[in-house]
Amino acid sequence: MVATGDDRRRIVESQNGDHGAFEALIKQYQRMIHSLCYRMSGSLADAEDLAQETFIHAYQHLDGFRADARFSSWLYRIAVNQCLNWRKRTQRLDRLHQEWGEQDRAPSGADTGRAQQIQDALLKLPPKQRAAVILTTYDGLSHAEAAAALGCSETTVSWRLFAARGKLKRLLKDHVKPKATP
């Protein structure tokens, strides 16, 4: 997969110092990167910081982007690395608890509680396993694409997913809705 024609044009323009072109790239991919960062961190505030750092890093290293790659995969890789290197764990946990209390979310109380338990289960996974689950389950990447984003082999992605799924199944065993009997 290669960068689309629009992406390629905007990348070249950004490399030539056109801020507008880079802002257009951000607009196109910001939701994808925010979602990834939110699922990795469990915090809206940290997701915002991580997404911002991802795009800044991308801008500073645009010369290193190979035109035969997909821009989204390249961004994924930067975002995953930002999330894995993220060291403000204690602060994150404090803010996380605060945010879960403050966020005004639409679902009912029971749904909110369940959603929180699922997000908590994700946060209990080691970061590399969590990244593998997020990229393949939520973002629909193939094992090969996830391997490219994570900078490891497909086999490693499979091992991480296998281990992560085992843990998640144990943690979320009460979340399966019983099938309706006829």
Partner 1 sequence: MRDRELNEVLKRVAVPERGEDYWERFPSQVAAEIKRRRQHSRAVRSADAPVLDAADGSSMWSWASAFLALVRKPAFVLTVAAVCLALGFVLGSWKGLPAPGKDSQLAEAREYFHELEALFPHQLQAIVFDQQGTHLVLAPEPNLPASPPLYLKVCGPKGCQRFVTFSGQQIRVNGDVCDVLAEGRGGVLLVGRQLLWAGAQSSEARGGYRIEAQTLEAHL
Which residues sit at the interface with partner 1, rule CB under 8 A? Answer: 19, 22-24, 26-27, 30-31, 34-35, 38-39, 44, 48, 51-52, 55-56, 59-60, 103, 105, 111, 114-115, 118-119, 122, 126, 128-129, 133, 137-138, 153, 155-156, 159-160, 162-163, 165, 168-169, 172-173, 175-176
Q: Which is nearer to partner 1, 69 or 118 (CB)?
A: 118
> What is the nearest approach in angstroms of partner 1 to the Cβ of residue 103?
6
- Characterize 114-125 residue by residue with b for buried, 16 or more Cβ atoms within 10 angstroms of its Cβ, and e for exposed: eeeeebebbbeb
Q: How many residues can be counted in the chain?
A: 182
Q: Which is nearer to partner 1, 73 or 137 (CB)?
A: 137
| CA–CA separation, 47 and 140 (whole Å) | 20
State the DSSP H helix or E strand holding residue 129, giving kind and residue range, or none if neither.
helix 127-133
| CA–CA separation, 29 and 82 (whole Å) | 16
| CA–CA separation, 112 and 40 (whole Å) | 18
Q: Which is nearer to partner 1, 15 or 35 (CB)?
A: 35
> What is the nearest approach in angstroms of partner 1 to the Cβ of residue 140?
11
| CA–CA separation, 119 and 40 (whole Å) | 9
> What is the nearest approach in angstroms of partner 1 to the Cβ of residue 176?
5
> What is the nearest approach in angstroms of partner 1 to the Cβ of residue 80?
16
